Amino acid sequence: MNKYMAEFIGTFWLVLGGCGSAVLAAAFPELGIGFVGVSLAFGLTVLTMAFAIGHISGCHLNPAVSVGLWVGGRFDAKDLVPYIVSQVLGGIAAGGILYLIASGQAGFDLAGGFASNGFGEHSPGGYTMTAALITEVVLTAMFLIVIMGATDSRAPAGFAPIAIGLCLTLIHLISIPVTNTSVNPARSTAVAVYVGDWATSQLWLFWVAPIVGAVIGALIYKVMAKES
């Protein structure tokens, strides 16, 4: 249960910190943190939690990461479903806290998106479903390659959280305009359930694409890192 609690708390922090920065601080008049600030916020949530709970649960915070690590032979299948459930519940709990905070401002409206992921008219830059699908698959694949490489026993010890956190920051810098960046089904679900409507109808892509990408990335790393 310690591992599942750690995943709940870690994903709670990722959603509260990452989506919270997008909802509360990104477009704040004159002093808003913008895309760069939101990208850093997501990266920092993973970096800080990797140091805090990495030794307890491995700090996945993401169903796609858990699936990818299982495919890559780094994670036990018996923990896969409990990890995913813990991550989704932690994210939804954070979404609820964020809703309570954000709704305290006059004029707050969920129609603004509440940091939900989307494509087409709900993409920040108006990108198509195909563009969103490619983006989420490729970037999640690269994320898994970095995660598996940074945590490889042959990699320099102690630096994995930094590499992984900076990788997630870079992923957001690339893809916020396309999908508002998911690469994480729990993060997407955490806010979509409060928005409903288009956010939940498009949620399928932000489960399918990251998981497919994670599997691809894990398989690429297994082949690439295989010792001769």
Q: Which H or E run contains 121? A: none
DSSP letters along 75-86, please?
Answer: S-GGGHHHHHHH
**Residue 6 to residue 94: CA distance in whole angstroms:** 14
Q: Which H or E run contains 107? A: none
**Residue 123 to residue 213: CA distance in whole angstroms:** 20
Q: Rounded to the nearest 5°, which phi and psi values hold at 106?
A: -60, 135
CA gyration radius, the chain? 17
Q: Compute CA 144 distance to the chain's CA centroid, rounded to the nearest angstrom.
A: 12
Residue 228 has pLDDT above 60, yes or no: no
Are the C-beta atoms of residues 125 and 178 closer than 8 Å to each other?
Answer: yes
Q: pLDDT band for 27, please (50, 70, 90 cuts).
A: confident
Q: What is the pLDDT of residues 91-110, one digit of tens each?
A: 999 999 999 999 999 889 89
User: For the ranges 24-28, 42-46, 58-62, 199-203, which has the lowest average pLDDT?
Assistant: 24-28
Residue 174 has pLDDT above 80, yes or no: yes
Instruction: Tell me the whole-structure pTM to 2 decimals.
Output: 0.94
Give the domain ranges of the chain.
Answer: 3-225
Q: What is the pLDDT of residues 29-53, one digit of tens each?
A: 888 999 999 999 999 999 999 999 9
Q: Identify how many contiguous H helices and E strands the chain contains and give both numbers.
A: 9, 0
107: CB partners within 8 A, 6+ apart:
none
Express as a percent the part of the chain with pLDDT over 90: 90
How many residues are listed for the chain in this entry?
Answer: 228
Q: pLDDT band for 227, please (50, 70, 90 cuts).
A: low
Q: Which residue has the tokens 């036990």?
A: 76
What CATH class does 3-225 carry? mainly alpha
Segment 120-125 shows an average pLDDT of 96
Decide: residue 88, CB within 10 A, 0-12 exposed, 13-18 middle, 19+ buried: buried
pLDDT at 135: 98
Segment 60-84 shows an average pLDDT of 96
**Residue 153 to residue 178: CA distance in whole angstroms:** 35
